[in-house]
Structure 1
Amino acid sequence: MKLLQITDIHLTTPGQTIGGRDPNANFDAALTHALTNHPDAEALFITGDLSDWGDAEDYARLRSRLKTIPIPVHLCIGNHDDRPTMLAEFPELADENGFVQQLVPLSTGHAITLDTWGPETHAGHFCEARAEWLDRQLADVDGPIWLFMHHNPVPLGIEPIDQIMQLDAARLAHTIRPHAAKIRHIFHGHCHLPLSGSFCGIPLSAPRGTNHASWPDFGAVNELSAADLTESYAVMLSHGEDVIVHMIEYGYTGKVRREGTPAYASWDRLTMIR
């Protein structure tokens, strides 16, 4: 099974930029690259910050763009989004409590998209109602289960980012720990950094994002740091019990060198391109 993850697209009013980059153009470029190079992907998951300011026009343009995509697309909500405005455009994404959460059948198990949004904050939240909903989904379906969410549930060791991580990580952990054997992988965004690790013993990962990038400044105290790094998305491949996640830096415009075949006999100190 192959899945695509795009995160932190930050759609804006056409013509506006973030960090000198056009998020609308970068989102289109990510879709074009992903769908051209991975037409066999089963589904695309966009893990939040769909709009930069939660504007209704951004969600309307997003819905229009998604109609052109030939594979299913599933959305998470991020801290830059606005839940009422988003659900006004995408009412089908609401669960019975009005949260942006869904259970998605896949050819290999199920995906679950989680709502970690909270009003007037950039930090992540996961209340008891959301936890009860997740517990029911995890109990009712067989594995493997793939979790998609916006906020990182594990601290990065970078103070400004950790201030706005998933603050209810303990409740989330309490909810998923009894079902951890079913959960194959956790995908998140939010940090604009390529990340890998684990939560409750479950592997997790995040790509950089499709527009502006963060910089891992471990000495930072109050301010977030940014850098002009290449835009990216992620490709997940599942083979039985095994999983690999690639970060695809589609914004790279430099040369790709052909260094030779992987056959050992062809490696020659004099002729190899190094």
Structure 2
Amino acid sequence: MLIAQITDIHLGFDPDNPAEFNRKRLDQVIGMLCNLDPQPDMLLATGDLIDRGDEDSYRRLRNALSVCPFPVHMCVGNHDQRDTFLAQFPDVPTVDGFVQYEVEAGPLRLLVLDTLEEGRHGGAFCEVRASWLRDRLAEQTDRPTLIVQHHPPIEVGIEWMNTHPEEPWVERLRDCFTGHPNIIGLVCGHIHRAIVSSWCGFPVAICPSSAPQVALELAPIDPDTPDGRNMIIADPPAFALHWWNGRELITHYETADEHVMLARYDEKMQPLVRSLLAERPV
């Protein structure tokens, strides 16, 4: 099973521009995903779908995603507004007003979580949401389950984007995960960089954004002293591909930029391919 992921689209950052930079980047990523061979079985869009929570941007997002030949499953991030989002995507399931739902995906089960607290940049996960997650995890204890959300529950080293490991929502989420080894991983966004880690023994894969990326600056930051460091950079739009091989989840990161080809599979490369494949057990 092949699961594509895009995140942090921030459509509407330049709201009055019909040729918006972030829309061009989104179209570039979607075009590449639609032309992959094999095509993804589904696409996850993991929050910060738009930039200002406005209805028109969600409408343009719906238009951009309409070309996808595979199902698209979305969650909300800190730039989203639930009511406005649900007005444009009324078929997305909710639980007590939160955008949380289950996706049956062949051999896998996906649990999409809502980590939005409107007005707050960082994550949130209240007892209502946690109760729903605990109930779902208790239902199929042997089923490989992938957790999907916007905010990562880990420190990433970029101080102005960090999550503190002792935040109450992180503790609550950790309690939900405890005792569920069938969780194969957590995929999220928010940081605008490709990052992999382990949290409480579970793999965490953070997807880079289709919008511009966050600069890799690991030095401490002083809120009282602007030091001129890079914060946002125009690196290429990017996405993730999560491949479930029946045993483990493998994550690949790719940019939607043009790639310079240095070697192709032709007669010159055929002996190498044959020898490599011959090493594998039949």
The secondary structure found in structure 2 opposite 1:93 is coil
Q: Residue 176 and residue 160 in structure 1: after superposition, are their counterparts in 2 closer, same or farther (change >3 A)?
A: same
Change (3 A) 1:170 1:52: same
Distance in 1, matches of 2:5 and 2:231, equals 23
The answer on 1:250 being equivalent to 2:256 is yes
Name the structure 1 match of 2:102.
103
The alpha-carbon distance between structure 1 residues 215 and 127, as it changes in their structure 2 partners (threshold 3 A), is same
2:173 matched residue in structure 1: 172
Q: What secondary structure does 2:91 align onto?
A: helix
* Aligned position for 2:237: 231
Matches within 5 A, 1:86-125: 86-125=85-124
Q: Residues 166, 8 of structure 1: CA spacing in aligned structure 2 closer, same or farther, 3 A cutoff?
A: farther
RMSD: 2.4
**1:163–1:108: structure 2 CA closer, same or farther, 3 Å change rule?**
closer
Secondary structure, aligned partner of 1:70: coil
Which residue matches 1:2? 2
CA distance in 1, matches of 2:48, 2:117: 13
Unaligned runs of 5+ in 1: 267-274
Paired with 2:135 and 2:89, the residues of 1 have a C-alpha distance of 23
Alpha carbons 1:131, 1:171 under 8 Å: kept = yes
| Amino acid aligned to 2:211 | N
Instruction: Note if contact 1:185-1:204 (Cα within 8 Å) is conserved in structure 2.
Output: yes
Aligned position for 1:153:
153
Distance of aligned partners of 1:264 and 1:232 in 2 relative to their CA distance in 1, 3 Å threshold: closer
Cα separation, partners in 2 of 1:92 and 1:218, compared to 1, 3 Å:
same
Corresponding residue number in structure 2 for 1:182: 182
Give the secondary-structure state (helix, strand or coil) at the position aligned to 1:92.
coil
Q: In structure 2, how many angstroms separate the alpha carbons of the residues matched to 1:193 and 1:166? A: 23
How many Å separate the matches in 2 of 1:79 and 1:164?
A: 16
Distance 1:59 1:188 in 2: 20
In structure 2, what residue type is equivalent to 1:263? Answer: L
Question: Which ranges of structure 2 fall in alignment gaps of 5 or more residues?
Answer: 276-282
Partners of 1:165 and 1:226 in 2: CA distance: 24
Are the aligned partners of 1:151 and 1:166 in contact in 2 as well (CA < 8 Å)? no
- The TM-score with structure 1 as length reference comes to 0.87
Cα distance between partner residues in 2 of 1:65 and 1:213: 20
The alpha-carbon deviation at position 163 of structure 1 amounts to 5.3
Q: Structure 2 counterpart of 1:214, which letter?
A: V
The answer (yes or no) to whether the contact 2:154–2:164 under 8 Å persists in 1 is: no
Amino acid aligned to 1:34: L
Q: Secondary structure at the match of 1:143?
A: coil
Task: Report whether the alignment pairs 1:71 with 2:76.
Answer: no
Bigger shift: residues 209-218 or 124-133 = 209-218
| Sequence identity percentage | 31
The number of aligned residues is 261
Q: 1:88 to 1:217 in 2, by over 3 A?
A: same
Q: Does 2:222 correspond to 1:217?
A: no
Range that drifts further, 134-143 or 48-57: 134-143
Which SS does the other structure have where 2:69 is aligned? coil
